[in-house]
Chains A and B, each alone.
Chain A
Amino acid sequence: MTQLPQSTDRKMGLVIDLDTCVGCHACVISCKGWNTENYGAPLSDQDAYGSDPSGTFLNRVHSFEVQPTPCQSNPAPEAQLIHFPKSCLHCEDAPCVTVCPTGASYKRVEDGIVLVNESDCIGCGLCAWSCPYGARELDQAEGVMKKCTLCVDRIYNENLEEVDRVPTCVRTCPAGARHFGDLGDPNSDVSQLVAERGGMDLMPEMGTKPVNKYLPPRPKDTIEEQIDILAPLLAPIAEEPQGFLGWLDKALDKLPGGNA
């Protein structure tokens, strides 16, 4: 049923720390690895070893440069480089669910996870059109819509060790930039982290009410003046060469072949 539930019991989702992410793409690879061999159709690649490779991924890491606006306290701020992982945000008001003509796309009442029932999907692509975040990709080999499942086949999987019952991207991240939990419970670790760090929504104006939150990068340290006691000894002595070297320099300049 592609009508959205009135409310969900829990709002499971991710909190992504843009201050901590180092842009290593480990989450991208572990996501592809887990999801290509578990829930649903594999994530195919086309021309993987050729000149025009492309493939289906459920999580991708962009990098942005932000030039902070100068202000009184910092009139010449340094640019910041921010790595930006992006996957389905499991929106509360998910347009991808309501546009689906077949009922293949749905949002679960028990935990708020947005999933695609691949055997019902006709591959019309409309849900991907409706997602502002580019979180859905139509698999070229299978002709069905693929998206992040929040590793629904890990988080409740009693065959796994307890530490592994989190989305594989969270488990893999070497920087600890990804957190998983119930964002509907104000006392959960993730909710407190969001409150403490001013977690934000992407494109709030789209009205999708994303469950996943992003923690903004902290302001950069200012670069201090270098203190180097040896510096005076190493300062260049003569800008213009003099004496024999000066003569040589000029003589070489005069030779054909131009000066460097």
Chain B
Amino acid sequence: MHPAPSVIVFTTLSGLGFGLLLFLGLGMPDVTGWVAFVFFAIAYALAVGGLLASTFHLGHPERALKAFTQWRSSWLSREGWCAVIALLVMAPYGAGLVFMGESYSILGLIGALFSLLTVFTTSMIYTQLKTIPRWNMKLTPAMFLSFSLAGGALLSGQIKAAMVLLAVAAVVQVVYWKQGDQALAASGTDMGTATGLGSIGEVRAFEPPHTGTNYLLREFVHVVGRKHAAKLRIIAFTLAFVVPLLLLYLSPHHLGALIAVLSHLVGIAVSRWLFFAQAEHVVGLYYGKR
């Protein structure tokens, strides 16, 4: 899949933002006034910024409101609903903390729930696609959720929780990569089933239908960046999990925590880039590519 920057920015930032909102909704950290304002401002900036970035790749962003109509069948529509509900419910909860020093904890709980659901519905947009075996796995939602929880804990300064959740996310990441590498082969789809000619013998792409490129090749067949995948995996893993864990362990203070957050953010973005760049869409098989 083409690793579109807008989608990588969106899923990385909004995953972190909703993770932070989740912790804030649960009253962690238990803050009011200016401190609460800063926490909520960061969470909203990440979540809303991510959502805005996601509209950049739309052909007709001005019609985006129509995307709320099909929640009965479409995960993308459900994601829109969950995100809006989470942001709307969190606003009065945050205002209570910032301006009145009051915690309307029921609002916080509802907001936390919908923040979690937003991340889950985002992950289901990818997970539902049988056409991309590497995404069509139970580990995909596990990965999105564990990343978001770890990032949220890290951003909200919950040192102990962050260390546990980062470790969990790291394990999920490794297992995801391992299983993902076998997903296409395990799906049973190959050029033989794609063309229906596999029962005759071995199929080879002889001539593509067009001499130039097209939407399908640009969007679905991204093979260029894959050759560095192994190196990028190590970079992603180190930045997203190893560095933050070490920093939290060695110097869980302001500067250390700040560097941990930035390192985590960059690491998750690299991991998300790989999530797209390494994903093979079965349509590539018609071109003899993967």
Report A's interface with B, CB cutoff 8 A: 1-3, 18, 25, 28, 52-57, 60-69, 77, 80-82, 84, 86, 95, 97-104, 120-126, 128-134, 137-140, 142-145, 200-207, 214, 216-217
Measured CA separation A235–B45 after assembly (Å):
85
Contact bitstring B199-222, A, C-beta under 8 A = 1, else 0: 111111111111111111001100
B200 contact from A25, A66, A120, Cβ within 8 A: A66
Q: Are A203 and B194 in contact (CB under 8 A)?
A: yes
Q: Quick one: which of B131, B201, B204, B210 contacts A68, CB cutoff 8 A?
A: B201
Q: A122-B63, A124-B57 are in contact. List 5 more A-B contacts (CB 8 A).
A: A98-B74, A99-B129, A101-B70, A101-B77, A129-B131
**A99 adjacent to B282 (CB under 8 Å):** no
Interface: B195 (CB within 8 A): yes
In the complex, the number of residue pairs spanning A and B with C-beta atoms less than 8 Å apart equals 200
Contacts of A57 in B (CB 8 A): 210, 214
* A interface footprint on B119-163 (CB within 8 Å = 1, 0 otherwise): 000000100111110000000000000000000000000000000
Residues of A within 8 A of B189 (CB): 132, 203, 205-206
Set A28, A103, A129, A205: member contacting B132, Cβ < 8 A = A129
Residue of B60, B125, B282 contacting most chain A CB atoms (<10 Å): B60
Residue of A nearest to B132 (CB): A129
Beyond A122-B60, A202-B196, is A95–B201 a contact (Cβ under 8 Å)?
no
* B66 on interface, CB distance cutoff 8 Å: yes
Q: Which residues of B contact A200 (CB under 8 A)?
A: 196
We find that the number of chain B residues with CB closer than 8 angstroms to chain A is 60
How many angstroms from the CA of A81 to the CA of B287 in the assembled complex?
15
Q: Is B76 interfacial (CB-CB < 8 Å)? A: yes
CA distance A212 to B73 in the complex (A): 24
Establish whether residues A202 and B67, one from each chain, have CB atoms under 8 Å apart when the complex forms.
no
- Counting chain B CB atoms within 10 Å of each CB, which of A123, A129, A143, A207 scores highest? A129
Given contacts A123-B59, A200-B196, A205-B189, contact A102 B70 (CB under 8 A): yes
Q: Which 10 A-B pairs have the closest CB atoms?
A: A123-B59, A143-B59, A60-B209, A134-B283, A101-B77, A101-B67, A68-B201, A101-B76, A63-B207, A102-B66
**In the complex with contacts A100-B70, A205-B188, A206-B189, A82-B197 CB distance below 8 A:** yes
- Measured in the bound complex, the distance between the Cα atoms of B58 and A104 in whole Å is 14
Give A144's nearest chain B residue, CB to CB. B59
Evaluate contact between A61 and B206: CB separation under 8 angstroms: no
B131, A206: Cβ atoms under 8 Å?
Answer: yes
The answer for the CA separation of A245 and B129 in the assembled complex, in Å, is: 73
Chain A's nearest CB lies how many Å from the CB of B207?
4
With CB as the reference atom, state the residue of chain A lying closest to B74.
A101
- Within 8 Å by CB of A202, from B129, B132, B195, B213, lies B195
B contact set with A: CB distance below 8 Å: 1, 57-61, 63-64, 66-70, 72-77, 80, 125, 128-132, 187-189, 191, 193-197, 199-216, 219-220, 281-283, 286-287
Contact flag A99-B196 (CB < 8 Å), given A66-B201, A130-B131: no
Contact A132 B283 (CB under 8 A): yes
Instruction: Determine if A61 and B67 form an interchain contact, defined as CB atoms under 8 angstroms apart.
Output: no
Provide 12 A-B residue pairs closer than 8 Å at the C-beta atoms, listed in order of the A residue.
A65-B204, A65-B206, A86-B286, A100-B76, A101-B66, A122-B60, A122-B61, A123-B59, A124-B59, A124-B76, A133-B286, A140-B215
A128 near B219 with CB under 8 A, answer yes
In the complex where A60-B209, A64-B205, A66-B200 touch, is A99 in contact with B76 (Cβ < 8 A)?
A: yes
Q: When the two chains form their complex, are residues A103 and B70 in contact, meaning their CB atoms are under 8 A apart?
A: yes
Q: Are A202 and B60 in contact (CB under 8 A)?
A: no
Q: Are B201 and A77 in contact (CB under 8 A)?
A: yes
Residues of B close to A124: CB separation below 8 A: 57-59, 67, 76
B130: contacting residue among A64, A95, A214, CB under 8 A: A95
Given A65-B204, A207-B130: A3 in contact with B281 (beta carbons within 8 A): no
In the assembled complex, the Cα of A2 lies from the Cα of B68 at a distance in Å of 12
The answer on a CB contact under 8 Å between B202 and A66 is: yes
The CA-CA distance from A124 to B61 in the complex, in Å, is: 9
CB-CB under 8 A for A102 and B67, given A64-B205, A66-B203: yes
Shortest beta-carbon distance, A129 to chain B, in Å?
6
Chain A residues in 8 Å Cβ range of B59 = 121-125, 138-139, 142-145
Please, which residues of chain A bring their CB within 8 A of the CB of B188?
Answer: 205
**Given A61-B209, A101-B76, A103-B70, also A132-B130 (CB < 8 A):** yes
Q: From the candidates B66, B128, B130, B208, name the one contacting A103 in the complex (CB within 8 A).
A: B66
* A66-B199 Cα distance, complex, nearest whole Å: 10
Point out the residues of chain B lying under 8 angstroms from A54, CB to CB: 210, 212-215
**Nearest B-chain residue to A216, judged by Cβ:** B196
Q: Which of B74, B187, B189, B205 has the most CB atoms of chain A within a 10 A radius of its CB? A: B74
Q: Which residues of A contact B195 (CB under 8 A)?
A: 64, 82, 84, 202
A203 close to B80 (CB less than 8 A): no
Query: When chains A and B are docked, how far (Å) is the Cα of A123 from the Cα of B75?
Result: 16
